[in-house]
Structure 1
Amino acid sequence: MPQIIPIKDLKDTAKVSEMCHKSSDPIFVTKNGYGDMVLMSMEAFEEMHHREQLYRELEISENDIRGGKTRSAREALSDVRENYGL
């Protein structure tokens, strides 16, 4: 479940850091009752970033398949063997 804290709680940096590292979910910071910032640990951010990169690559691949930009495995392996002298 996402955590929501008021901006004044950022004064206790050790506590906020601990909260970030205890959960992979982001912490939403409010200011005057409205959303202002989102905090997360570096590990959670990197994991999210890698996942987004994977989804982007999958989307590109799916678009290539839909667009007919494919070839047989035999063709591809033949090119690899030729290019690398295998």
Structure 2
Amino acid sequence: MIIKSSATIRQNYNEISELCKKAKEPIFLTKNGEGDLVVMDIETYNRREKMLRLREKLLAVEEDRMNGSQGYSVSEVVQMMNNVINKENDDGE
């Protein structure tokens, strides 16, 4: 976890921008010693958003299964997962 003061971004935006790109993780900014903002580069943000969408889809399928939805064969599951992965990859391009 990388923590910087909010003054850092005001005084040296380029440093924070490069740090975000290099670290590939959120940078936590503090104001008066308290957490204030989280910043990240756009690539990291997009990757996290894709992962969250995939997790939401997987949770919805699991909820359906727990509520008595018809099961699928292994080959059907593999095909569905490949379709989701391909769609997510296509959305990012």
TM-score by length of 2: 0.72
Alignment partner, residue 49 of structure 1: 49
Runs of 4+ in 1 over 6 A off after TM superposition: none
CA RMSD for the aligned pairs?
1.6
Q: 1:71 Cα shift?
A: 5.4
Alignment partner, residue 30 of structure 2: 30
Letter paired with 1:18: E
Q: 1:72 Cα shift?
A: 5.7
1:61-86, Cα deviation, whole Å (9 max, x unpaired): 0011111122566xx9xxxxxxxxxx
Unaligned runs of 5+ in 2: 77-93
Point out the structure with max Rg over C-alpha.
Answer: 1
Letter paired with 1:22: K
Which structure shows the bigger proportion of residues in helix conformation? 2
1:7-57, Cα deviation, whole Å (9 max, x unpaired): 110121111110010012110000000000000010001100000111100
Unaligned runs of 5+ in 1: 77-86
